[in-house]
Structure 1
Amino acid sequence: MHRSNHRGQPYLYSTNVIPGPSAKANDRKLIGISEWNYDIPIVFKLLLSGNPKTCPSSIWDNPEEIALIGDYASGVKNLEGFLSKVALPSAQDLIAESIDFLNKPDNQNQYFVLECGEIFDMSEIPLLEQNLALLEQIRNLQPEAEQALQSLVPPPVVPPKPVGFFSKLLGRAPESQTPAQDPMKPIYALGLGNWSNILYFDFTNA
């Protein structure tokens, strides 16, 4: 496939063959797993964290290795370890959905492939340089994983200010409080809830 337009999405696939010039000749399969908007979520990085390496892109016509590949089984195991630390009751359905999807035999392959060319292309930094930086980040995910877990801890509830005597007398309404954040937003931001075999770049019949 040729250079994509600027949709700003990373694409996650599973595959049975390492992408490269001879991949198609080896009965390659590329199964859609997920895509995201304008970010590379921690879930994608965890799934790539099983012995990650650079590899050629299957989407972009680029001679450099601007995609990443990692071991499927190890990536799922690493994700399960991370999700086991998420205790929020509201997250459990999304977690169960994720594990079920990733453990479906039709989705399982030897490798995960992460295509971030569209994200990289939004910057002036060379694509290969960004891919190598992402690879290094995935190899040292612990700080980011801890930060992601911390983001799920709800902020302390600030009680509303009591209405003063003169405010009551004058009929003033109490000061409006800052609207509460959607409690599901940080959970979805991990990269959950968007699993699909049909991605924008679909290789089903390729």
Structure 2
Amino acid sequence: MANRSYLYSTGNRPESYEDRPETVSGLSEWPYAIPFSFLVLLSGDPRLCASLIADGFDGEPPECKTTLYAISGEFDAGFARLAKFAAAVRAVSNAEGLHAGLAEAERFLHEHRDRYVLLETIELDTMIESGEDELRALIEGHLGLCRAAGAAIDALPDDAAAAGAVLAAAAAERSAPPLDAFHGLVLTDDFDNTRDDRTENPIGLSWWTDVLYFALWNRAEYAANQPNQ
């Protein structure tokens, strides 16, 4: 396993592994973490849904498959929150790399927008747990983080300069909820630098691509690749 979280745009909220979207595109992947930008993008009415990466574990009989979950959120609501966050960051930080990362994120996401965003965390979760109930508890924890990220951005002032000041203060020193979701964000060009321990809370702006380790089939591709089709 690659031990990453995976982000996609999709045309539906999958109710089962077989419930494939008409449209699906990769967006990003991140090693050993769920970066803040992923949580923000999933913050629009996030809900548990079926994983499209795995239908249970290898070797399980069809009648006893472990139920595996992902998280689905409304694309436009999450994208709007990310844009508000980006405006606040631009108002408070002069870091050129950070500005470039925000611009690339907005450009790429605009070009790959769909009705929903899908977050797959099964690789990360199975590093910790293997039981169905325990895995569901982990994904519900991620769901809470998505809601918390959205609430933090909603709590920022509408004025970008004022929002930037609140964001910078909350990133530097832990605040009460909902602003505590910003704690640990780095608003310099080390915003994603986890290798040198510059941050344990990456924003996640360094890797946008529609070619991910797991390329999910859309509905037509899934049907064409089933036995006896």
TM-score bracket, shorter-length normalisation: 0.7 to 0.9
1:51 aligns with 2:45: yes
Distance 1:144 1:119 in 2: 23
Residues 79 and 112 from structure 1, CA distance in 2 versus in 1: closer, same or farther, beyond 3 angstroms?
same
Name the structure 2 match of 1:72. Answer: 75
Residues 36 and 187 from structure 1, CA distance in 2 versus in 1: closer, same or farther, beyond 3 angstroms?
closer
Name the structure 1 match of 2:215. Answer: 202
Name the structure 2 match of 1:8. Answer: 3
Amino acid at match of 1:147: H
Contact 2:74–2:116 (CA under 8 A) maintained in structure 1: yes
Contact 2:125–2:138 (CA under 8 A) maintained in structure 1: yes
Distance 1:45 1:131 in 2: 12
1:146 aligned residue (169, 182, 186): 182
Name the structure 2 match of 1:29. Answer: 23
Contact 2:70–2:139 (CA under 8 A) maintained in structure 1: yes
Structure 2, unaligned runs of 5 or more:
57-65, 153-178, 194-201, 223-229
* 1:108-187 superposed matches below 5 A: 108-124=113-129, 126-141=134-149, 142=152, 143-149=179-185, 151-152=186-187, 184-187=189-192
Distance 1:137 1:203 in 2: 25
* SS of corresponding position for 1:69: strand
Amino acid at match of 1:49: S
Distance 1:148 1:30 in 2: 32
Residues 137 and 48 from structure 1, CA distance in 2 versus in 1: closer, same or farther, beyond 3 angstroms?
same
Amino acid at match of 1:68: I
Report the CA distance between 1:133 and its aligned residue.
Answer: 1.0
Greater shift in the superposed pair: 189-198 or 41-50: 189-198
Report the CA distance between 1:145 and its aligned residue.
Answer: 3.9
Structure 1, unaligned runs of 5 or more:
1-5, 153-182
1:84 aligned residue (83, 87, 100): 87
Distance 2:33 2:128 in 1: 13
Give the TM-score normalised by structure 1.
0.74
- For residues 155-198 of structure 1, the C-alpha deviation after alignment (integer angstroms, 9 at most, x for no partner) is xxxxxxxxxxxxxxxxxxxxxxxxxxxx5222563100200001
* SS of corresponding position for 1:68: strand
* SS of corresponding position for 2:39: helix
- For residues 15-55 of structure 1, the C-alpha deviation after alignment (integer angstroms, 9 at most, x for no partner) is 0021134623xx52221000001110000000000000000
Distance 1:144 1:195 in 2: 26
Contact 2:101–2:205 (CA under 8 A) maintained in structure 1: yes
**Number of residue equivalences:** 166
- For residues 82-135 of structure 1, the C-alpha deviation after alignment (integer angstroms, 9 at most, x for no partner) is 12111323211111111011111xx11100000000011111372111001111
1:17 aligns with 2:12: yes
Name the structure 2 match of 1:192. Answer: 205
2:100 aligned residue (85, 93, 96): 93
Larger radius of gyration: 1
Report the CA distance between 1:138 and its aligned residue.
Answer: 1.4
Distance 1:7 1:187 in 2: 19
Name the structure 1 match of 2:169. Answer: none
Residues 50 and 131 from structure 1, CA distance in 2 versus in 1: closer, same or farther, beyond 3 angstroms?
same
* SS of corresponding position for 2:216: coil
